[in-house]
Structure 1
Amino acid sequence: MSDPHPDEVVTIVVVRTGGLAGLRRRWRVDAGADDADRWILLVRQCPWDAPEQLDPDPERPGDSAPPEADPHRTPDEEDADRSRPASERAAGTRAAVPADGESATAGAADRFVWSIRARTPELRVEQEVPEQALVGPWRELVEAVRSAT
């Protein structure tokens, strides 16, 4: 079977799923030899073999590590603290009470998941990246593909 795009050296496909409406968006770059070096560099910078960096704690995506146990706190105090979001525990504050008629989750959209596939002369890689992990080289690659299409 022959390659349907014989002039393309690099192909990158980014698919975004999720969000409030659950819509799926797709972007694709097919780069020829004249532009391949730029795209290969972006692909190589991504940590394809480091899935632990994408979601360090699947039970609590996006949260930081739990705080050290305080030997002076009672189990009831620790349980109450665990029920608060990590950002509040770290800051030592309570969540603001929503205004009348507002939901506590008002303005909070569902998270996106980014499926990223790349093919270069040396690599064929694929990774799903949750929204909160789309930082650094992942974000740079995704933004470059989105801008190019």
Structure 2
Amino acid sequence: MKISVERSGGIAALTRVWTVHAQTASAKSQWQPIVEACPWDAVPRTVSAAAAEVQGNQPDRFIYSIRAGQRRAALPEQAVTGPWRVLVDSTRAASEDSPARQDNSGPQGPSPA
């Protein structure tokens, strides 16, 4: 399962992408509960739809585009809470811990050697 989080916007309007490839059975079993905990059907699927939901003038806020397998979600920064925050933070941490590795071992990245 490929999980990716793209964060766009902010003051500098830079885009950052964090990706995890959970390919082994062990990695999939660690990531699946995190992905399943998110309410995918309750949020917009596109960045434009997420941006339209933002109340008031908030030009420098981030928008997150999240993909996990066939699932898609787009959330304004202030909506990345609860299980979404866990998924975003875990993906970011695992991606930053081992950027060259194709199969991150779990939500917190690989175990120290």
With the length of structure 2 as denominator, give the TM-score of the two structures: 0.70
What code does the residue aligned with 2:14 have?
L
Matched, 1:113 2:63: yes
Counterpart AA for 1:20: I
Alignment coverage as a number of residue pairs: 88
Residue 109 of structure 1, CA deviation = 7.6
CA distance in 1 between counterparts of 2:90 and 2:54 reads 31
Deviation at 1:60? 2.0
The partner residue of 2:11 within 20, 31, 35 is: 20
Deviation readout 1:100-140 (Å, 9 max, x if unpaired)? xxxxxxxx981000000001xxxx10000110100000000
Q: How high is the TM-score relative to the length of structure 1?
A: 0.54
Once the two structures are aligned, what percentage of the paired residues are identical? 44
Q: 1:60 aligns with which of 40, 55, 58?
A: 55
Give the gaps of 5 or more residues in structure 1: 1-9, 62-107
1:128 matched residue in structure 2:
74
For 2:17 and 2:53, locate their aligned partners in 1 and report how far apart those are by CA, in whole Å. Answer: 26
Which residues of structure 2 form unaligned runs of 5+? 45-49, 96-113
Q: How does 1:6-45 map to 2 (within 5 A)?
A: 10-31=1-22, 32-45=24-37
Q: Deviations over 1:79-105 (max 9, x none)?
A: xxxxxxxxxxxxxxxxxxxxxxxxxxx
What's the secondary structure of 2:93's corresponding residue? helix
Secondary structure of the structure 1 residue equivalent to 2:17: strand
The structural deviation recorded for 1:35 is 1.3
Which of residues 48, 51, 58 is equivalent to 2:43?
Answer: 51
After TM superposition, give the deviation of residue 34 of structure 1 in Å: 1.8
**Structure 2 CA distance for aligned equivalents of residues 38 and 129 of structure 1:** 23
The runs of at least 4 consecutive aligned structure 1 residues that moved more than 3 Å come to: none
